[in-house]
Structure 1
Amino acid sequence: MSENPARTARLGQNQYGKAETRVVRITRDGDRHHIKDLNVSVALSGDMDDVHHSGSNANVLPTDTTKNTVYAFAKEHGISSPEEFGLLLARHFVTSQEPIRRARIRIEEYSWERIGGPGTQHSFARTGGGTRVAQVVHDGEGTEVVAGLKDLTVLNSTDSEFWGYRKDRYTTLPEAHDRILATDVSTRWRYSWADAEGETAPDWDASYRETRRHLLDAFAQTYSFSLQQTLYGMGSRVIENRPEIDEIRLSLPNKHHFLVDLSPFGLENDNEVYFAADRPYGLIEATVLRDGAEARIPAELTNL
C-alpha cells in the first residue's frame, strides 16, 4: 500500500455555532413591564476548511462569543420580534467577521400573558397557544426569512368525516361520517422579502398574528372529508390573504380519537365518549405555493 494514498474524501457543507441560548428580556416602561422570552440558535459557515483539515482555529469565532452576542444584542437593541432580532444577529456575524460568509439564526419565542387584573403590571403566565418560530439566513448578498409556529393543538368535535378510502385485506378501520378531527399544527412560511435595497420589510408581528388567525379560521371553517383537505384549506387561505408570503409548509399529525365500546356495560355511545390515542398517528404533510413561486422550505425544517 502506498504511504501517501490519494485523498478520496472531501469536506462538504458544514456549519458551527451555539444552540439554544435562552434569553429573557424585560423592558421596564415605568411600572408596566414587558417580557420577551426567546430560545436562539446560531449556525455559522464560511472559510472553515483549515479548522476541519488541520485544526487551525484562525477563522473560528468561538461559539461562546455567539452566545454572548445574543445577550449583548438583547440589551443594546432590545427584542421587537424574533424575525427582526434574527436579522440583526445574522447581519452582524456576516459583516463583522470576514471568514464567516453565511449565518443562520433559528429562534423560538415563548409567549406570556398578564395576570392579576388591571392594576398588576409585572405578573405573567406562560400561554399555551403554540410556540412562535423564525429562521433568518443571511449571506451578505441576500436574506431569507422563514417564520412559523409549532405545538398548536386544535380540535373540531364534528364536521369531519373519513370514508370511501381504499381497502385491502389488512384494512380494519371503520368508515366515519362524524368524527373528531384533532392535530398539533406545525408550520413554516417563507416571506417573499429578500432584503433588497429599498425593499421594505414586512410588519413581522402583524404578519405572524394574521397568518395564525387565517390558519385557525380555515381549520374551524372547513368541513373536512380528510385531513389533507383541511391542510390545503389552511395553506391556501394564508397564500390568498397574505401577499407577503410565497410558500407555506404544514405538518399535521392526526391525533386520533376512537369511540369507546360501551356495549359491554349496556350503554350506547352516541359520539360522546372517546379514547385519545397518542401513537401511532397518521402524519399529513404538504406545501402550498403561490403561483410562480419556488418551493424552498425543506421538509425537516417544519418539525424543528
Structure 2
Amino acid sequence: MNIPKKLDVIIIGGSYSGLSAAMALGRSLRNVLIIDTSKPCNQQTPHSHNFITQDGATPNEISQKAKSQVLKYNTVHFINDRAIKGMKTNNTFHILTDSGKEFEAKKLIFATGIKDIMPTITGFSDCWGISVVHCPYCHGYEIRSKKTGIIANGEKAFHLAPLISNLTNDISILTRGKTGFNPEQLSKLKKNNIKIVEKEISEIEHEQGNIKNVIFNDGSKESFEATYAVLQFKQSSDIPELIGCELNEQGYITVDQMHKTTIEGVFACGDNCSPMRSVANAVASGNIAGAVINRELANEQF
C-alpha cells in the first residue's frame, strides 16, 4: 500500500465520524489518511439504533460497510495504527504513530472519541452497552416497559428521568449515596412515582451482560431488567490538548458550528466534541468537517 508521506488531511480515528469525513474528502479528490486502532467504544453493544437505513444493525456491520465504501475512493488510505504524537510547524501538521511511521498534512481531523471511565462496581463493565446503557434514543425502545434503574444523581439523573418515564413506569434512581436533588426536583420525581435509592452499589449480577440484580453495600439486592448510567469520561487521545486545542468545562474539544477547533487547520468531530453521542450525530459531524476542510483547501488553491 503506497501511502503518500505528505497528505491533504490526516484523520485520527476511523469510526463513524472519521469515515464520514473521509468520504466527503475522498469524493473531492483529497489525499487522506485515516489512522485508527479498530477499537471503538461501542464494540460491546449488540445493536445500533436510531440511525435510518441501519436501524438494528450491529456497530461492526455499519462501520465495516462504511469503511468498504470509503476506501473505494483511491485517494483515501487507512492504516491500523495508533497516533501517539502530533505537532504543528508553520502550516503543516506532523503525526507520529506507534509503529514509528511519520506523516504530514495540511489539515488535521480528530475523530478520536472519548473513553468511558467505569465505576468500581463488579459486573458493571460486562453489562455496559448491553443492559447498562447511556442513551434512551439509542436503546430506550428496546428496553421499554421494563423495570429500569438510573445510576446517576442530581442534574444528570433528573435530565434522564423524564425521557425514560416516557418509556416505562417502573423507574428507580440509584444515586450511590446521598441524594443531590433540590426540593422542586424531588417533588416532580415523587409525582411521577420514581423511587430514589441512596445506597452504594457493590455489584451488578448478570448473565452474559444482561442485568439480573443490583447488589448494594449493605448486602441487600433489587432486581432490574435494565439500567441507564451516566459515566465520567476522558478524551481517548491526548494529542488534541498537546497541540493546543481547548477543552470546554465538560471535557469536550471546543469546536464551532463548522467543527473547527481553537487551532487553525484542526477540526474535531464525533463524540470527542459533543455530548450528543450517537452514530447519526457522529456521521453528520464528520460530513460537515470534511466538507468545510475541502472548502478551505479549495480556496487556498484557487
TM-score relative to the length of structure 1: 0.23
Q: Which has the higher contact order (CA 8 A, sep 6+)?
A: 2
Higher strand share: 1
Larger Rg: 1
